[in-house]
Structure 1
Amino acid sequence: MRLLLLGGTGFVGRVVAEEALARGWEVTALNRGKQPAPGGVRVLTGDRTAPDGLAALGTGEWDAVVDTWSWAPAAVRDSARLLNGRVGHYAYVSSRSVYDYPLVAGAGEAAPVVASSPDLTGEVPYAEAKRGAELALEAEFGGRALLARAGLIIGPHEDIGRLPWWLNRIAEGGPVLAPGPRDLALQYIDVRDLAAWLLDASAARLGGPYNLVGPSGHATMGELLEACVRATGSDAELRWTDPERILAAGVEPWTELPIWLAPGELYDFLHNGSVERALGAGLRCRPVAETVESTWAWLRSIGGSAPQRSDRVRVGLDREREAALLRG
């Protein structure tokens, strides 16, 4: 397979490149060249926000494209128009954020989505940006466009810092604020499982929307944090705390306490979606312990500090605020 990656050096794109190379695929990546691509990738330089940013793609043919773009959808529109007729399949890493909020628990791909346009430029809200890109691909590629609506993505190379924050905090040891309930079901996907499914789906020419995240309850909050304790070898003591007490203290779920959400509308939106379609199309999810152990090994290999995307806020709870909550 000849794969074109639009991106290929960041979190998801990098792991897709590594997985494709491991399969013996020929991989070309277009990006700005600000980070090195995995060895073996043929790199083309281009900035998709510039007037001539796609010039390097003026010639060439590929079996499949994987696109991880997250900003103004006009960039996806332009690449789709340029590549139509020269690629056999176009997979786009979209997001479950495209669904209209609030979302009924267990909702699938037929749920209502936000309004958007493929022609939007400049600063565009995340949900509208992803949905606009979907519309652009549907217009150009129809059934040859795969819309992979990813949920929470964790694993090695994470550049938002959710699982890395928990690992580093637990590695420090001592009492750790553990947001309850302990058996709270989580919905996430290991980036390597996401990459493997994307490439399988590209080879099979799957089209249309898929909620691309593991089943809700594949792991619980307790299983995730206990796996962090084991992986780091820490003496950390997880102190499980009721959601009501955490919220009353003004702690922000998802950002100050990454991954975690208190039960309610937002929890249902992000941790309780249907993934039957993706599972039926071959999605397989590894155990949470494997995700945690691999992420910890990667963190140690780079000195413990995870890279940080400039367009996302830093996550994690201030130690003084945590201590105050633990004192009760």
Structure 2
Amino acid sequence: MELLVLGGTEFVGRAVVEDAVARGWGVTVFNRGSHGVPPGARALRGDRVKGAWGELGSGEWDAVVDTWSGDAGAVRDAVRVLGGRAGRYGYVSSRSVYAYPPGAGMDESAALVDPDGDDYAAVKRAGEIAAVEGYGDAALLVRAGLILGPYENVGRLPWWLNRIARGGEVLAPGPRESGLQYIDVRDLAAWTLDALAKGLGGPYNVVSPPAHTTTAELLETCVRVTGSDAVLRWVAPEVVEAAGIEPWTQLPVWLPPGELYDSMHLGDVRKALSTGLRCRPVGETVADTWRWLTGIGGVAPQRPDRAPAGLDPEVERRVLDALD
């Protein structure tokens, strides 16, 4: 297989490139050159935001992987520039494209958001439409959910690992046994490449089965792999919310029981599972992320379009002190 990855140096794109190289595929990445290209890949330079596609003007590939999450015009332009020079188009989208609230058990047939807005969900849906308009049944729509693992540049699991590594009492949001539905970035990459090789098209929810792990297992694993003396202080969700702490952003990954939790952690993924999706244990994801994080000095890269995640230590201390 000859693969073109648009981007290919951070998080999902990097995982896709590394997996494809390991398979022995010919891999080309097209980007601005702001970050180093993974070993084994060929680099073409350009800036899709500025419409500078020069080095992409020639060449042919069996498949493309595009992780773009900005203005869908960049996806439409990529489809136009590539013309008939790529066999299949894999667009890494998001389960956010489903109209809210999709509810528990939502599958690929659920209602979708209006693509005309400028929020994340709308631009991802517009990107899907651009891919399908250009490639039809050869467009693979990879609707990922919560993505964790090495190279994370959003700051969710890295924040928890660094917070727990500092030790002491850690605010752990309940319920303890609340199930989490997520995907290791490497499992996402592997399934995407397998699907392209098989000629799959259309939408797929690509995330683990519900309750692949629990909040307790995730945080307890962080304690174990960091070797920390941290003590998890479990706090009821209503206490967390009453303190004005924002789920998902100030306490990454966590959502209290309710519609948003059902949407994020109770999705139907039978379609992807039936085509070979495999999800590694949470212990492997956490340990490998910690190994990567410590290897780069403990400071994870941060996407410029996302606000840093995490809870102010003073707010955490105030809530914990009120429990005594």
Aligned to 2:229: 235
Deviation at 1:84, TM superposition (A): 3.2
Q: TM-score, normalised by structure 1?
A: 0.97
Aligned to 1:176: 170
Q: TM-score, normalised by structure 2?
A: 0.98
Q: Is 1:268 the counterpart of 2:267 in the alignment?
A: no
Aligned to 1:306: 300
Output one character per residue of 1:29-59: Cα deviation in whole Å (capped at 9) or x when no partner. Answer: 00111111111211111111113x2221111
Aligned to 2:188: 194
Aligned residue pairs total 322
Deviation at 1:10, TM superposition (A): 1.0
- Superposed counterparts of 1:219-230, under 5 Å: 219-230=213-224
In 1, Cα distance between equivalents of 2:131 and 2:317: 49
Output one character per residue of 1:106-152: Cα deviation in whole Å (capped at 9) or x when no partner. Answer: 110000001115xx9xxx31111110011011111111000000000
In 1, Cα distance between equivalents of 2:6 and 2:144: 17
Paired amino acid for 1:103 = P
Output one character per residue of 1:197-240: Cα deviation in whole Å (capped at 9) or x when no partner. Answer: 01101101100000011111000000000110110011111111
Deviation at 1:81, TM superposition (A): 2.0
Aligned to 2:90: 91
User: Does the residue aligned with 2:86 lie in a helix, a strand or coil?
Assistant: coil
Output one character per residue of 1:53-93: Cα deviation in whole Å (capped at 9) or x when no partner. Answer: 22211111001100000000011011112223111111000
Aligned to 1:5: 5
Aligned to 2:239: 245
In 2, Cα distance between equivalents of 1:253 and 1:181: 13
Aligned-pair RMSD on alpha carbons?
0.9
Is the Cα contact below 8 Å between 1:84 and 1:141 reproduced in 2?
A: no
Output one character per residue of 1:252-311: Cα deviation in whole Å (capped at 9) or x when no partner. Answer: 000000000001011111111111100011000000000000000000100001000000
Alignment gaps of 5+ in structure 1: none
Aligned to 1:213: 207
Aligned to 2:40: 40
Alignment gaps of 5+ in structure 2: none
In 2, Cα distance between equivalents of 1:84 and 1:108: 31
Q: Is 1:166 the counterpart of 2:145 in the alignment?
A: no
User: Does the residue aligned with 2:49 lie in a helix, a strand or coil?
Assistant: coil
In 1, Cα distance between equivalents of 2:204 and 2:223: 33
Paired amino acid for 1:249 = A
Q: Is 1:137 the counterpart of 2:136 in the alignment?
A: no
Q: Is 1:27 the counterpart of 2:27 in the alignment?
A: yes
> Percent sequence identity over matched residues?
62
- Superposed counterparts of 1:288-327, under 5 Å: 288-327=282-321
Q: Of 146, 153, 163, which residue of structure 1 is paired with 2:140?
A: 146
Is the Cα contact below 8 Å between 1:215 and 1:275 reproduced in 2?
A: yes
Paired amino acid for 1:66 = V
In 2, Cα distance between equivalents of 1:237 and 1:147: 41
Q: Is 1:280 the counterpart of 2:271 in the alignment?
A: no
